[in-house]
Chains A and B, each alone.
Chain A
């Protein structure tokens, strides 16, 4: 299976990943050969097999829903990480234009 440049662009857009034309070309080839390699999984019979995502068998681990305070200096450090901030809030471009 060969991925088209349009398909690569669609995935890159879903992933919010800016790619150059050269990268699109390269990934179209590389991803195609990797996906071909993945095809062999079809040989495995998985009828009625449950998928697993938690390998040691733990289930919903809960804790009390208690508010834990964050120290003001930690809060400041966290906000200071942001490239732009204002009034102790993280600032960015508008989501809706």
Chain B
């Protein structure tokens, strides 16, 4: 196995034993990047000199007690990185260099993480395919004709193609789990508030969560230990103890009650994929879990609830891009013209659509019918999850309704694209955590290559530990997560 294909855990062991250095790991990643990223296009910018400098420093100190020390990482280009261009994949921020770093990035850097570059995404994280990037689409390493999922598509594709060991993504409605599922890697959407949002450009503030995409659940747990916790700069992070997420992963799942919400296996979910997930559930059953069917009848209202609320929040969050204090700025004679031209030229189609939709649903006369109604339904959906969790310890569903689709297939039909989030956005509405782990492959009707399938494991608020344990036990019993794309 090549150095850049190791897990974080394996690489940390090697660093401790001096089998190789952080510089070796970093060089291996850049060799891979140079070999494959022309095809995959998972990075907006690369920080090779910065990374090699950092790796040298970490090697000099030689302290690898934190498992992330010396390990190369990709960062979704929506996390501010001090002195390093941060674009949100938007033309409006094409040349923006932030004077500060996001809290999550700062925490990684303090522990000796080696940032190799900034990953591509859908502009301002709005999308499910990474086709909405203002610069270029990312390709799925399992089939370059297909999307990697989104919005953290660059992050998932880079990890899947061994260009970095892990990446930080963000998840507002699907954006970590869907690309992780499409690319055959492991991704965690944390409980809302578990990881600080400070310094990450806002999409929908009451939904946005920050989390890792990695090769194994074990690695995800290692990253979580460092990035989670209260941050005084983000008042939505509660003062709840950060557990050692690696502890307890080895505990068996015998007797654990896993719920299968029947609405997540209903019509609209690809039949072949469903079979794969059902096999995975049988595996969990054979490990001793008790499987019970449950029902979440409000699931069918999740998409309208989600999109009304996030687009409303987005329309206000994106007011700040006005061409005055930073970013793109159009030459104009009046202030009004400056606003109109800057924003008209700087934002791409999905962002414009979002701002239009959100402005409409918040405008006088429509607020009650749309925004307020959706916020009420959100209460009901949250209660429905709480009630279901009185009966079960966690839930298992497919992560996505289908496997990766072809580039261009849905990009002109926004509603079809939105429906890709149908199994993942209810989790953000309820603010609970969910993990996506690879659980098999299917060969799509319109393609030659087998594409990865993801299983979603949903947990109670702030109970990441249970779902990580289920995911880890599953990965101990299977090897889907070890498969590598051929990059054909």
On A, residues with C-beta under 8 Å from B are 8, 11-12, 14-20, 23, 27, 30-31, 33-35, 37-38, 40-44, 46, 49-56, 58, 61, 63, 74, 77-78, 81-84, 90, 92-95, 97
Contact = CB atoms under 8 A, between A and B. Distances in A.
10 contacts: A16-B319, A16-B339, A17-B356, A18-B343, A19-B352, A23-B352, A35-B360, A41-B377, A51-B372, A61-B236
Given A11-B363, A16-B339, A92-B338, A51 B376 contact: yes
B335 A93 contact: yes
B304 A37 contact: yes
B99 A81 contact: yes
A78 B96 CA distance: 11
Contacts of B301: 40-41, 43-44
B235 A58 contact: yes
B344 A17 contact: yes
Given A18-B344, A30-B414, A34-B414, 20 more contacts: A11-B356, A11-B363, A14-B363, A20-B344, A23-B349, A38-B304, A41-B377, A44-B298, A44-B377, A46-B376, A51-B379, A52-B378, A52-B379, A54-B206, A55-B192, A74-B100, A78-B99, A83-B323, A93-B332, A93-B335
Interface in B286-306: 298, 300-301, 303-305
Interface string B298-330: 101101110110000001000100111111010
Nearest to B308: A38
Nearest to B335: A93
A41 B304 contact: yes
B347 interface: yes
A16 B307 CA distance: 21
Dominant SS at the A interface? loop
A56 B415 contact: no
A58 B378 CA distance: 16
Interface of B: 96-97, 99-100, 191-193, 206, 232, 235-236, 238, 298, 300-301, 303-305, 307-308, 315, 319, 322-327, 329, 332-336, 338-341, 343-345, 347, 349, 352-353, 355-357, 359-360, 363, 370, 372-380, 382, 414-415, 418, 429-431, 461-462
Dominant SS at the B interface? helix
A83 B324 contact: yes
Given A19-B352, A38-B370, A44-B380, A63 B232 contact: yes
Given A11-B356, A34-B307, A34-B415, A17 B379 contact: no
Contacts of B96: 81
Given A11-B356, A37-B415, A46 B382 contact: no
B434 to A, nearest CB: 14
Q: What 5 A-B pairs come out closest when comparing CB atoms?
A: A18-B344, A55-B431, A51-B375, A18-B340, A83-B329
Contacts of B326: 81-83
A34 B345 CA distance: 24
Given A14-B363, A55-B430, A90-B325, A46 B373 contact: yes
A97 B334 contact: yes
A97 to B, nearest CB: 7
B235 A14 contact: no
Contact of A34 (B339, B357, B431): B357
Nearest to A19: B344
B340 A33 contact: no
Nearest to B352: A17
B359 A14 contact: yes
A51 B308 CA distance: 13
B344 A41 contact: no
B324 A27 contact: no
A12 B354 CA distance: 11
Contacts of A44: 298, 301, 373, 376-377, 380
B166 to A, nearest CB: 26
Given A18-B343, A41-B305, A81-B99, A11 B235 contact: no
B341 A54 contact: no
Contact of B322 (A16, A84, A95): A16
Nearest to A17: B343
A64 to B, nearest CB: 11
